[in-house]
Amino acid sequence: MIDSYVLLTPILMLPIVALLAFVGCDWVFGLEPRVPKAPVLSAVAGNARVTLSWPEGQWTGRHHVKRGETSGVHELLGEVPAGISTYPDTTVMNGTTYFYVVTAAGSNGESAPSNQEMVTPAAVLLTAFIGPISSTSATLTATGWFGVEIALNSPVTIKTLGRAFATGNGQIHVMKVVEVVEVGGVRTETDVPGTLVALNMVGPLELGYRYTALSSAVTISGSPTAGITYYILSQETVGGDGFYNHTTMLTTTGVATVTGSVKGDGTTHQVDATGSIAYGIVNFQY
């Protein structure tokens, strides 16, 4: 019996020795690696803005964002908490080129820098469909969705939706674009994907309107000769932000023609084919 015990002891110890050797290489009982790996960085330039991102789950700890105006020279810009994989830099100037890297940081140190991303933010040139307005008697006496019907003269790529501003406005309004197809006198309404947005009336004012950007530009191209028109709509509440004036005249660019004012419940709508009157003065930029 003694001989057997002595003989088996080294054999039983082998798995433990092997486990300790493996653990000692990179991981210790499930804790993070000794030094994190360098992240993979992406950067997208906008108007006075650069949005940085890296793959989720690549590193579950903190990240350090670094920026410079010379390639290879970076200073710490900010620290991103664990669980977040994006960083918006709104301290940039249009026309200036910036160089970014990101590092992963943990209790065992900081990773090597990520790939360097070079970006140059620039102003986005936008054209408003409806020109400047001045309405001194904006009122709102109903609840529902209000706006205009347009017939396209050419395809247009919508980048923002906007709503007329009146003194005292300060609420948030949902806006959208609806495609309308008329066949045999029957109209079918379908929300255009990607155009549902929330517009905060507190913010910068541009020629009588406030605008909010779509998450990505949306192109509409339905031809009125095929019975296709579009509604530009804003959701309103009686007693809320002042909004419309029945005698407001609209001046537009040539990409489309206003064919009437629209009101409805968000699912079905009626058109007042007056052309120059708007129940709700809405707008878009392209």
Distance CA 210, CA 202 (A): 8
Q: Is the pLDDT of residue 26 over 50?
A: no
Among left, alpha and beta (phi > 0; psi -120 to 50; other), residue 152 is: beta
Q: How confident is the model at residue 167 (pLDDT cuts 50, 70, 90)?
A: confident
Q: Is the pLDDT of residue 21 over 80?
A: no
List the structure tokens of 147: 């706006």
Q: What is the pLDDT of residue 127?
A: 95
**Neighbour tally for 279: CB within 10 Å:** 26
The model's pTM is 0.60
Torsion of CA 145, 148, 149, 150, to 10 degrees: -140
Q: What is the pLDDT of residue 6?
A: 46
Helix (H), strand (E) at residue 23: helix 2-23
Q: What is the pLDDT of residue 16?
A: 45
Q: Which fold has domain 1-123?
A: Immunoglobulin-like (2.60.40)
Q: Is the pLDDT of residue 12 over 50?
A: no
Average pLDDT over all residues of the chain = 84
Between 268 and 246, the higher pLDDT residue: 268
DSSP 238: T
Mean pLDDT score, 253-281: 81
Residues 6+ positions from 17 with CB-CB distance below 8 Å = none
The answer to whether residues 180 and 264 touch, using CB atoms and an 8 Å cutoff, is no
CB neighbour burial string for 119-146, b if at least 16 within 10 angstroms, e if fewer: bebeeeeeebbbeebebeebebeeebbb
In the chain, the percentage of residues whose pLDDT exceeds 90 is 50
Q: What is the pLDDT of residues 52-66, one digit of tens each?
A: 998 877 787 899 999
List the structure tokens of 173: 């309004």
- State which of 70-79, 253-262, 272-281 shows the largest mean pLDDT: 70-79
